[in-house]
Amino acid sequence: MNNNSSNKMKTTLLVILIACLVLLTGCWGKREVEELAPLLGVGFDLGEKPGTFLITPQIASPKKGDSSGAETEDRTFSIQASSAREATEKISKISNRTPFMGSLRVIIIGEDLAKAGGFNDLLDFAQRFGEFRRTMYVVLAKGTAQDILNLELRSGTIPVLAIKNSIESGDEISSFPTVRLGHYLTIMGTEITAPIFPVIEGVTSGKGIEYKAEEDKAGEIWVKGAGVLRGDRLDDLLTDEETKGYMWLENYVVNRFINTVENDESVIFGGRVIKSNTKYKVKEKNGKMELQYNIKASISVDEVLGLEKELPGSEWAELMNEAEKSFAEAIRKECESSLKKQRELGLDFLGIGRHIEQKNSAYWKTIKDQWEEELQDFPISLEIKVINLHAGTSNSSAVNSKEGRQE
């Protein structure tokens, strides 16, 4: 009797285990990779009719390469749709494959749509649907996103991959912010800080770049400046200088190329920021609270322009001290232009409100309700310290003798 019951139990457990094997394999609802249309980028512009969008997907179309392995081509087209899901349906019909969102790297928002506002409705799909990743980049386009995605690049790279590569190597020059979808959503959640996006621009020959041959219309894409948003509406664009100031103040500078051309000095320095750190503190000064930024940067001097004569050791050392001051002045100008812009716009894109809240929450509670007005004249000071690490492989510059110079 006991043996019988034990056998029954074993049989039941065996059946259960076999059923587990069938049910827990995870193959339900699988899709073969050939049936998918991997989305690399998507552009959003204003549609023809009110409430519609012009959506431009850029889909990867892998092909077999010759010696260097597989290559990627793109398939780019535009459709009118009133929602992201409607667009998905149309993309499926056109490409005969189901769009796969997990490969999406860049979302481009066209200038007109950004100015009109309302693109958060489209981004809702990207932050909600499980296939998407919050690590995708969001950028604004100067002009339309459609034009950017249809641009033929001289390098032969797919536009969206070129944008992705530019952003991912952005730390090398630290002249524009990197904004991932997750970061944008976090900034929105602060309810104080105005979101900011980098701006991409298509550049063709004769318009910011020169090519010898003019016969084709191929161009390049670069990231230049940034756009500041009020809600999900583009309020204004920041210049290159203002964006660089933003990068300093937000402690986003990793490496930078910098020069002192704008300083109006006889000797001009060019260099590279090797290391940078920005801290801030809220302190009381003359009975008023103020925010003080402390920027410390280590720079290597890579070029010296306008040197009249070769300098002996002591004078060279003095000049390098001057270089530190000149670089500090250049950084100050960038920061001040950014602060000035913030005051003009009345938008806290530098997150100053959050900085005050972080450092002195009790004081923040007293001003947060009228922060927009406070922002106009809230005292902010800058302490900038530059350390000149070295001047490359030589000391003083090679200069022709005075007699030999052309006056």
Partner 1 sequence: MERISPHQFMILGAAVLMGTTFLPVAWVVTEASGRDGWMSVLPGFAVAIPYGLMVLSFLKRYPQKNLLQISETMFGKWIGKMIGILYISITGYFGGLLLAQIGDIYQASIMPLTPLGVFYLGVLLLVLYLVSSGIEVMARFTELIFPLITIFLVLNLVLSIPRMEQGELLPILSEGFTPLFKGGLKLAPFAMEYMLFLAVLLPFLPTGKQEFIQLKTGLWRAVFLVGFLNMLVVLMQIMVFGPHETIRLAYGLLLLGKMVEVSRTVAGVESLFLGIWLGANVIKVSAFFFMTTWGLETVFNLRGLKWRLALGAVFLGIAFGFTRESYLLQEIALVDDYLILPFASVWILTLWGVSRWKKGAGA
Q: How big is the chain, counted in residues?
A: 407
- With CB under 8 A as the contact rule, the residue among 92, 358, 366, 376 that binds partner 1 is 358
Determine what percent of the chain falls in helix, strand and coil, rounding each to the nearest 5.
Answer: 40, 30, 30
Q: Which is nearer to partner 1, 327 or 378 (CB)?
A: 378
Distance in angstroms (rounded) separating the CA atoms of residues 119 and 117: 6
Residue 62 in contact with partner 1, rule: CB under 8 A: no
Residues 1-20 touching partner 1, rule: CB under 8 A, are 9, 12-13, 16-17, 19-20
Q: Is the dihedral angle over the CA atoms 120, 230, 182, 225 positive or is it negative?
A: positive
Q: Which is nearer to partner 1, 300 or 358 (CB)?
A: 358
- With CB under 8 A as the contact rule, the residue among 135, 321, 366, 381 that binds partner 1 is 135
Smallest distance from partner 1 to CB 11, Å: 11
- With CB under 8 A as the contact rule, the residue among 62, 65, 102, 346 that binds partner 1 is 102
The CB-side HSE value for 114 (13 A sphere, CA atoms) comes to: 27
Q: Which is nearer to partner 1, 123 or 268 (CB)?
A: 123
Smallest distance from partner 1 to CB 111, Å: 27
Residue 254 in contact with partner 1, rule: CB under 8 A: no
Where are the extended beta strands (E) located within 77-132? 79-81, 98-100, 106-109
Residue 47 in contact with partner 1, rule: CB under 8 A: no
Smallest distance from partner 1 to CB 267, Å: 36
Angle at 251 between CA 143 and CA 359, to 5 degrees: 120
Q: Which is nearer to partner 1, 39 or 304 (CB)?
A: 39
Distance in angstroms (rounded) separating the CA atoms of residues 306 and 124: 54
Closest CA to 176 of 191, 163, 192: 163
Residue 213 in contact with partner 1, rule: CB under 8 A: no
Cβ 201 vs Cβ 209: under 8 Å: no
Residue 89 in contact with partner 1, rule: CB under 8 A: no
Distance in angstroms (rounded) separating the CA atoms of residues 139 and 195: 12
Cβ 293 vs Cβ 335: under 8 Å: yes
Residues 283-342 touching partner 1, rule: CB under 8 A, are none
Query: Which phi and psi angles does 175 have, rounded to 5°?
Result: -110, 5
Q: Which is nearer to partner 1, 250 or 329 (CB)?
A: 250
Query: Which phi and psi angles does 115 have, rounded to 5°?
Result: -70, -35
Smallest distance from partner 1 to CB 135, Å: 5
Contacting residues toward partner 1, per CB under 8 A: 9, 12-13, 16-17, 19-20, 23-24, 26, 28-29, 31, 102, 130, 133-135, 168, 182-183, 185-186, 188-191, 250-251, 354-355, 357-362, 364
